[in-house]
Amino acid sequence: MIKRLLIVVAAIATALTTALAQPNSQTQQIAKFVSGNTNIQVQFYSPSIVRVLKTPVNKPYSPKSLVVIREPEKTPVKIHRNGDLFIMASSAIKVMVNNKSGRIAFYNAAGKQLLIDSTTSFLPKDDAGKPSYTVKGSFVLQSKEPIYGIGQIMDNKFNRRGSSLQLKNENMSTYSPYFMSVLGYGVYWDNYSISNFTDKPGELAFESLGHCADYYFMYGGNADGVIKQVRKLSGQAPMLPLWAYGFFQSRERYKTQDESINVLKKYRELRVPIDVIIQDWRYWPEYKGTDSAWNSQLFDTERFPRPKQWVDEIHKLNAKLMIVTWPGFGPKTDQRKELDSKNMIINFDTWPPNSGARPYDVYNPAALDIYWKYLNKRIFSYLGNDGWWLDSTEPDHINVKDADFDLPTHLGSYRSVKNAFSFMHNGGIATHQKQTSKNKRVVLLTRSGFIGQQRFGSNTWSGDVTSSWDMLQKQIPAALNYTLMGIPNWNSDIGGFFAGGWNDGGGAKNPGFQELYLRWMQFGAFCPMMRSHGTDIPREIYNFGKPGDWCFDGQQKMINLRYRLLPYNYSTAWDVSKNDGTFMRPLIMDFAADSACYEIGNEYLFGRSLLVSPVTKPDVKNWPVYLPKGADWLDFWTGEKLNGGQTINKEVPKDIIPVYVKAGSILPWGPAVQYTGEKAWDNLELRIYPGANGSFNFYEDEKDNYNYEKGFYSTIEFHWDDANKQLTIGARKGKFPGMISLRRFKISVVKPGMNIGMGDNNTVKTVEYTGKKLIVKI
């Protein structure tokens, strides 16, 4: 009979015997067990987070997490024993370990069972010549319990029950071994290898390469609470600069410095707002007509003869510049030569084909230093660009051979750490830039991601997706599941990347592509980053027509709407950073009590007030929208008030996306501008959507530096009392250099038939505000 031993950490045998004999209140946060051939350690990191670590007996292993940066906090834990059951309880959760079977059950404080960890197996596995294991952890969920997360998956599913997936980060597929339940808990399996996730009746399982099973159980009570715990473990999302919420224009690619300057000038001439121009690949010199100098981070002297002047001119046009940089280097680059000499290259071929380019070892801290050394000297400190486009961060793998995954990295075989490539690459650049300058917030646009990447200011895009209605539809549930991993910033190429199939009909003049592009732009206006990009067909607004043409006007309308929502979006960004909020909020976040929301992945709340239902099919006159139970809703465009708990058919001419505002919302409406910093917010409209009480926390700071981390910002709390038709504008809290001392608020209460939507002239009362509390009767 196998001997099973229970050990409480830091206790000698006599103390252990006493503790088990007297099940009273104790403060131990760690318990260790031996069950069969497995060592089990259960540790409370906080009242709401428990770490479980399992290893084979006589094979101790102490992993150091790349993702988890939180140290365990002192947590009162009550411990007692009931036969074979060992019970540890905090104020939020209870963990029950069966000392015979090793089975672990998790409960909330009220005693409701949430999850069972049923079995863990270790199958010996050769890992590039070193002994390791295929580790499988199996869990039992309730039979009809919806779960979400896992990553950005292009299969048009929202609820991930019944999924069977290989977790291998590639272009368009971005995974993390994590799921969240509608019951208010989440599980992060702390492993970076190519893994498998399977959910079938009676078993949800992760299967990975490694030396241990290491996971975190997090209880938050609801989706917001789980995301808060994820960020407590892996880091908060920093504030992005205000300009990051403007409009981005890109293409594959601007070939000269004059070409991108002329694009900006054309936008300014047409009075279409824009904040960012992006420089894609091959701005660097070629080497004898080849790509062997790929990603040298130098500028071709013929096409970009005066790069500093180029960047300065972009800034004079009141725009920002984002520049692409890749993780792979051609063999003729200085970076490659230095990295090769120090064994800091992973020796497989990456993009572009036949170039000899290979990725650097992002897992090596010294390699991250070298990468930044060149990037800083040749671009950031020299040119003063504003953000980075980090392409191919999976990275691309050309002529794939299974042996490539056995290649060594600083942290082990490439197979064992592949999924963390983007995380490490983003982290290296973000950390180095912030150490170099506190005057520019880090902005990263990246093609892949991993849980925890939110702490680097990363904004993941969905990859090189095709320009099709089917792909547009798939973007929405993919984005929602991705953001439920705690990473708030996501976007896609507006119009899709590969658009060659539309060229036969006239490209940007093809009415079919125009409709797809406009509908995609409507979706993009309600994403954390609004960015036009693609190949085959240039996407600048003037390629689609001229003012007065339906496609041009429809685009301009959406871009203008994006800029009018800047005060709302920037305040939402503060909610994301300060309160662990989420930009793209699946309906299950705010309406978990409404089971009709469990499978709805094609609409969402943008911030806490705006319900968005993008149109994802061509030639439709009406679009079905489910309005969740538990709130009343007002049509953003018409003011019509509707009850929740019903599906309505919204009339959707090509220039209208269904948007509904939750009753009780207070929406700060910004001025019409051509770029984010053009006008001060000293004369804002406050749109009140009646039908319930509500509040909004209005945030301001210096817009683009890290002084907010030192407390240099201000907030104003608005509160609407619906019964008394009274708006309270709270006393301003905080201050920062350049803060507006006197401002006007134009207050409007939305009613059916009003000139709302994009209209102004809704004011029913104007008040002056000096920072002191005001009560306004409507």
- Which pLDDT value is given to residue 8? 35
- Which pLDDT value is given to residue 362? 98
* HSE of 360, CA atoms in CB hemisphere, 13 A: 31
Please give the single-letter amino acid code of residue 622.
Answer: N
Q: In sequence order, which ranges of 437-543 are alpha helices (DSSP H)? A: 469-483, 511-524
- Which pLDDT value is given to residue 28? 79
Average pLDDT over residues 242-246: 98
Q: Tell me if 505 is assigned to some domain.
A: no
- Which pLDDT value is given to residue 763? 78
Average pLDDT over residues 190-216: 98
Average pLDDT over residues 730-750: 97
CA-to-CA distance for 742 and 766, rounded, in angstroms? 13
Q: Please state, for a pLDDT cut of 70, what percent of the chain lies above it.
A: 96
Q: Tell me if 506 is assigned to some domain.
A: no
User: 3-class secondary structure for 625-656?
Assistant: EEECCCCEEEECCCCCEEECCEEEEEECCCCC
- Asked if residue 5 has pLDDT above 70, the reply is no
CATH number at residue 35: 2.60.40.1760
Average pLDDT over residues 74-88: 94
Residues paired with residue 744 on neighbouring β-strands, in sequence order: 683, 768
- Which pLDDT value is given to residue 762? 72
- pLDDT (tens digit, 9 = 90+) per residue, 204-234? 999 999 999 999 999 999 999 999 999 999 9
Average pLDDT over the chain reads: 95
- Which pLDDT value is given to residue 759? 67
Candidate list 145, 258, 259, 464, residue with the active-site label: 464
Average pLDDT over residues 758-765: 73
The number of distinct structural domains making up the chain is 1
Cβ 679 vs Cβ 273: under 8 Å: no
Told to judge if 190 belongs to the known catalytic residues of this protein, a careful annotator would answer no
In the chain, what is the greatest distance between 2 CA atoms, to the nearest angstrom? Answer: 86
CA-to-CA distance for 286 and 352, rounded, in angstroms? 13
CA-to-CA distance for 540 and 535, rounded, in angstroms? 12
- Which pLDDT value is given to residue 756? 67
CA-to-CA distance for 758 and 358, rounded, in angstroms? 49
Average pLDDT over residues 692-708: 98
Q: Tell me if 180 is assigned to some domain.
A: yes
The closest alpha carbon to 683, from 607, 747, 756, belongs to 747
Distances (CA, A) of 202 to 184, 199, 237, 657: 20, 8, 36, 41
- Which pLDDT value is given to residue 16? 32
Q: Tell me if 49 is assigned to some domain.
A: yes
Average pLDDT over residues 197-201: 98
Q: Could you give the angle at which helices 566-579 and 550-564 cross, rounded to 10 degrees? A: 50
Which residue bears the tokens 């709401």? 48
CA-to-CA distance for 173 and 158, rounded, in angstroms? 15
Q: Tell me if 70 is assigned to some domain.
A: yes
Instruction: Phi first, then psi: give them for residue 414, nearest 5 degrees.
Output: -60, -35
CA-to-CA distance for 403 and 129, rounded, in angstroms? 12
Told to judge if 632 belongs to the known catalytic residues of this protein, a careful annotator would answer no
767, with CB counted inside 10 A (0-12, 13-18, 19+), is middle
Candidate list 117, 224, 275, 391, residue with the active-site label: 391
- Which pLDDT value is given to residue 682? 97
Residues paired with residue 345 on neighbouring β-strands, in sequence order: 360
Average pLDDT over residues 75-80: 95
Q: Tell me if 689 is assigned to some domain.
A: no
Percentage helix, strand, coil, to 5, in the chain? 25, 30, 45
Cβ 323 vs Cβ 385: under 8 Å: yes
Please give the single-letter amino acid code of residue 210.
Answer: G
Residues paired with residue 460 on neighbouring β-strands, in sequence order: 446, 490
- Asked if residue 291 has pLDDT above 90, the reply is yes
With bands split at pLDDT 50, 70 and 90, how would you rate the model's confidence at 764? confident
Please give the single-letter amino acid code of residue 459.
Answer: N
What is the DSSP track for 557-606?
HHHHHHHHTHHHHHHHHHHHHHH---SEEEHHHH-TT-GGGTT--S-EEE
* DSSP assigned state of 452: T
Distances (CA, A) of 529 to 39, 43, 244, 524: 46, 38, 7, 7
- Which pLDDT value is given to residue 222? 98
The closest alpha carbon to 641, from 657, 654, 627, belongs to 627
Which residue bears the tokens 């939750």? 662
User: Structural domain of residue 95, as residue ranges?
Assistant: 6-234
- Asked if residue 744 has pLDDT above 70, the reply is yes
Told to judge if 391 belongs to the known catalytic residues of this protein, a careful annotator would answer yes
Q: Could you give the angle at which helices 307-316 and 257-270 cross, rounded to 10 degrees? A: 10
The pTM of this model reads 0.95
Q: Tell me if 708 is assigned to some domain.
A: no
CA-to-CA distance for 376 and 368, rounded, in angstroms? 12
- Which pLDDT value is given to residue 755? 59
Candidate list 190, 199, 394, 632, residue with the active-site label: 394
Please state which of the ranges 82-86, 420-424, 448-452 shows the lowest mean pLDDT. Answer: 82-86
* HSE of 379, CA atoms in CB hemisphere, 13 A: 26
Geometric angle at alpha carbon 333, from 330 and 337, rounded to 5°: 100
- pLDDT (tens digit, 9 = 90+) per residue, 115-165? 999 999 999 999 999 999 999 999 999 999 999 999 999 999 999 999 999
- pLDDT (tens digit, 9 = 90+) per residue, 644-694? 999 999 999 999 999 999 999 999 999 999 999 999 999 999 999 999 999
- pLDDT (tens digit, 9 = 90+) per residue, 293-320? 999 999 999 999 999 999 999 999 999 9
Q: Tell me if 530 is assigned to some domain.
A: no
- Which pLDDT value is given to residue 761? 59
